[in-house]
Amino acid sequence: MRTRPLKVALLGCGVVGSEVARIMTTHADDLAARIGAPVELAGVAVRRPSRVREGIDPALVTTDATALVKRGDIDVVVEVIGGIEPARTLITTAFEHGASVVSANKALLAQDGAALHAAAEEHGEDLYYEAAVAGAIPLIRPLRESLAGDKVNRVLGIVNGTTNFILDKMDSSGAGYQEALDEATALGYAEADPTADVEAFDAAAKAAILAGIAFHTRVRLDDVYREGMTEVTAADFASAKEMGCTIKLLAICERAADGGSVTARVHPAMIPLTHPLASVRGAYNAVFVESDAAGQLMFYGPGAGGAPTASAVLGDLVAVCRNRLSGATGPGESAYAALPVSPMGDVVTRYHISLDVADKPGVLAQVATVFAEHGVSIDTVRQQGRLDGSGEASLVVVTHRASDASLTGTVEALRKLDTVRGVASIMRVEGE
């Protein structure tokens, strides 16, 4: 074993960063044995140096992250500060000064992954980011390495623990969205500002990363269709239960049937209770990968939290340090396929549409005609009058598979009917 340690600079010492530092200290001997050399925490860049950080030598703490990554004796930079800047500049500076990088920064990788990979390749360094997608769940490495000889056709999963907790609470208790969000916040699952989670920005960034790796194609955050879950109601769950379904916020990355394009999208969807994703409870994540040779693979586990995310970071750190000792680098960006990313309008799936209509004869025929005129085939219809004397009824239509564009046209035409009082909800149906 080499006695001279590999030096690690840690950018950020919050929930994840502090766990990385703790594990590096408490598991130092094991990490050294697995790597073939000791690893030494050489510096920790933070914004508030006065804060007490248990187990970290105050002499290692600095507010000058740029100086830390420029030191020249740093072997690996671990970036867990998040955001676009200064993370992007710090990572590229690390490459320029001879350090490899381990990152958990999904937003930056989804936006500028291609440029970061190019910078790493230019300087002969590694860029690893297992922790950016699904916490402790090994997902990027299986896609990038274990399935490198296979053809991945679809990635489908729950990649945000906060939204899954909220939707699970709404399903199991009948709570409304705000009530479930308040509980998630009280338990520490939701941030004070939950926008990134509930509006699906977080999941969309992860979908971009997964689609790029799975399909060997550059997929940016802007390529991902995004729909949050703030409009999901208790009534939607009631309708889902009548269909033998539940509702999950899903990230779906697919290769077109002809193999000529890909799509990436994040939105709430009904899935059958018989589907394994329906049983993913609380703040857990689960992802299905479908490929030609391996078939269906499912990855399941905690998708967030300090210790689980630090586990993924440390796994990358071990891999990068091993590469450094051997004078090699791991897999870089694979974008040779360069497939076009199709717009959401081309996506084909099933739909559950709930309408408020006049409770009188002929309404169903009018609605069915509109669907037919737009080429959308109806699977089932359920109409129920109301006892409140309003003269209105609820009409639920479940379609066969249709494109998003054709369904959009159908809904626009339905809104113009005098007998349609309003569109209560539209929900995609997946997992069948």
- Alpha-carbon separation of residue 214 from 152, 256, 262 (angstroms): 6, 13, 10
Closest CA to 403 of 354, 338, 351, 326: 351
Query: Does 206 participate in catalysis according to the annotation?
Result: yes
Please name every residue paired with 428 in a beta bridge, in sequence order, or none if there are none.
269, 351
Say how far apart CA 369 and CA 372 lie, in whole Å. Answer: 5
- Alpha-carbon separation of residue 145 from 140, 213, 254, 331, 351 (angstroms): 8, 10, 19, 8, 36
Beta carbons of 180 and 171 less than 8 angstroms apart: no
Say how far apart CA 209 and CA 219 lie, in whole Å. Answer: 7
Q: Which residue is catalytic, options 106, 206, 248, 360? A: 206
Tell me the residue length of the chain: 432
Q: Quick one: CA dihedral 264, 268, 272, 278, positive or negative? A: positive
Closest CA to 340 of 432, 404, 261: 261
Please name every residue paired with 235 in a beta bridge, in sequence order, or none if there are none.
none
Beta carbons of 214 and 139 less than 8 angstroms apart: no
Say how far apart CA 234 and CA 167 lie, in whole Å. Answer: 10
- Alpha-carbon separation of residue 431 from 56, 155, 286 (angstroms): 47, 11, 13
Please name every residue paired with 127 in a beta bridge, in sequence order, or none if there are none.
101
Residue ranges of alpha helices (H) inside 27-105 are 28-35, 65-69, 87-96
Three-state DSSP string of 273-286: CCCHHHHCCCCEEE
Q: Buried (b) or exposed (e) across 250-271, using 16+ Cβ within 10 A? A: bbbbbbbeeeebbbbbbbbbbb
Beta carbons of 224 and 113 less than 8 angstroms apart: no
Catalytic residues: 206
